[in-house]
Chain A
Amino acid sequence: MSFLINIWRIIVSAWKHFVRNLWLALSTVFVLVLAMLSVNVLLGVNVLLNRAAQELEGKIDVSVYFLPNTPPAVLDQAKFLMTSLSQVQSAELVGAEAVLENFKREHAAEPEVLGSLSELEQNPFGATLIIKAKNTADYPFLLQALDNPQFNFAIESKNYDDHAETIRRVREISRSVQVFGLILISVFALFSILIVYNTIRVAIYTQREEIGIMRLVGASNSFVRMPFVLEGIFLALFAIFIAGGIVFSAIVYLEPYLANFLDGADPGLLKFFMANWPRLASVECGVLAGLVALSSWAAVGKYLKK
């Protein structure tokens, strides 16, 4: 019973400290919110970069252009061989007629090109084999595999739509963002600890008389210390709540604009945060509250030595 009474009095006391030093508390919450925003912006940027890389990966393929009049058996053999490779996700054979139709459709607005085409007596195009790999790293191997004597004589050209360099750069940026983000988070964490430490020190300073009297009339160390630790946790919870609101609103507002950068594809930010918010909230809340509580614990320690 006395334990519960103590807990209740500690909570009330912590809340009073918080309210009495409201402006100081709000400025501390502001810095903590900035720290939490930096963490969440970093997470969001990572999600976006991964999504961009996935989009680009989805666009990579190898187009193999066969000579006109290549026998269907050779084409089928090439398709069969490529499909049988474990690295290949799909291999689509587009017949010569379909290639011609596609060409006409793409150049419908260019009468000179279509006129030249009509002067030819036969279809100048051969079939095309479009191959997609499961992994972007496998394309060099697939290009080698196409150099097969059973059908390489029939290949006119190969067009490797090379987004690999772009993907590599996106991945590189993503890694740089992670490293930079970790440094940023560490700096913010350090600032947060120092600022909370200072806030609690100021709160203690304004209440040093009360602390002295508490000690004088027989308050235990934990009874003196816990309200300040709890005040730090209040600051952390407020910061998490505000940062969460800002992050959610920003995602809802920005996602349609971000979709434009991904050719209309879903950036996946809202999905990511909605799917992961319980884990993110508990980890961020736990880490921040832990750091803040530790900082408050240290700040009040000096006053408990006597």
Chain B
Amino acid sequence: MITLEKVSKIYPPNVQGLREVNLKIDHGEFVSIVGQSGAGKTTLAKLLIAEERPSRGRIDIGGWDITRIPGRDVPFLRRQIGVVFQDFKLLPKKTVYENVAFALEVASMSGRRIHEIVPQVLKIVGLDEKAHRFPNQISGGEQQRVVIARALVHRPKILLADEPTGNLDTLNAREIIDLLLKINSFGTTIVLVTHNREVVNALRRRVITLDGGMVVSDQAEGKYLLPA
């Protein structure tokens, strides 16, 4: 599903974001990528959605070599990878429904199809009752669920969640992780980038640990190994 071969990323003038990273994530996996600040987690996430290009190496997603993906193809890649960020990135002047529908509108989907899909996805994330509220009228956890719903509307094969619980309390964080597990159970590959020890240890799924831009550990039912 996702393959990285000797991927390095160097930021000018000579800051090493990633060093010779080799990685393979299979279809349907739930993988946590952990590491301290500056370990290269976010760089890896940015490479996967082609927000950055690798300095060396090769990245393949679902058989598509995105190492030197042309700018015009990036939107198509991003419709296949759902992305969830720590800071939500919701449009404050749009309702929950409109925020989710927006992702389909930019992909030229008809209004009729949007009216079919959005309520279904909002039901999955448990926000069908709050579809017409604005982001500032719902909790942080609910806002993150809207973001997940928006990431899901394209029915992506991969869901990339970069610190999705970073702004949430323990209870809301737990709900978001449960939601990601539920989505994973439908067959979607989940890549969770986090430094939340409790979350990682509770999951008991594959854990890839980054340090200094390198993979230092890759365990099938791993734990958060790094010191707090």
Contacts and interface: CB of A to CB of B under 8 A. Distances in A.
Nearest to B102: A217
Given A209-B91, A210-B91, A212-B89, A217 B51 contact: no
Interface stretch (A132-140, A191-199, A219-227): A219-227
A213 B109 CA distance: 17
Interface stretch (B19-27, B69-77, B176-184, B216-224): B69-77
Given A216-B83, A306-B51, A6 B108 contact: yes
B104 to A, nearest CB: 9
A76 B185 CA distance: 115
Interface in B36-88: 49, 51, 71-72, 74-79, 83
B102 A213 contact: yes
A5 interface: yes
A219 B51 CA distance: 14
B154 A218 contact: yes
A114 interface: no
Contacts of A213: 89-91, 102
B72 A220 contact: yes
Contacts of B106: 214, 217-220, 223
A9 B114 CA distance: 14
Contacts of B105: 9
Task: Give the interface SS of chain A, mostly helix, strand, loop or mixed.
Answer: helix
B71 A1 contact: no
Which of B72, B77, B105, B154 counts the most A-chain CB atoms under 10 A from its CB? Answer: B105
A2 interface: yes
* Number of chain B interface residues as a range: 20 to 34
B110 interface: yes
B72 to A, nearest CB: 7
B103 interface: yes
Contacts of A221: 71-72, 75
B107 interface: yes
B108 A218 contact: no
Which of B72, B75, B90, B103 counts the most A-chain CB atoms under 10 A from its CB? Answer: B75
Contacts of B150: 217
Contact of A218 (B71, B78, B89): B78
5 contacts: A5-B108, A217-B103, A217-B107, A217-B150, A223-B75
Contacts of B83: 216
Contacts of A223: 75, 106
A209 B78 CA distance: 17
List the 7 shortest-distance A-B pairs measured between CB atoms, nearest first.
Answer: A219-B106, A218-B79, A217-B103, A2-B108, A218-B78, A218-B75, A220-B75
Nearest to A306: B51
Interface in A258-306: 304-306
A34 B37 CA distance: 55
Contacts of A2: 108-110
Interface string B92-119: 0000000000110111111100000000
Contacts of A304: 71
Interface string B134-175: 000000000000000010001000000000000000000000
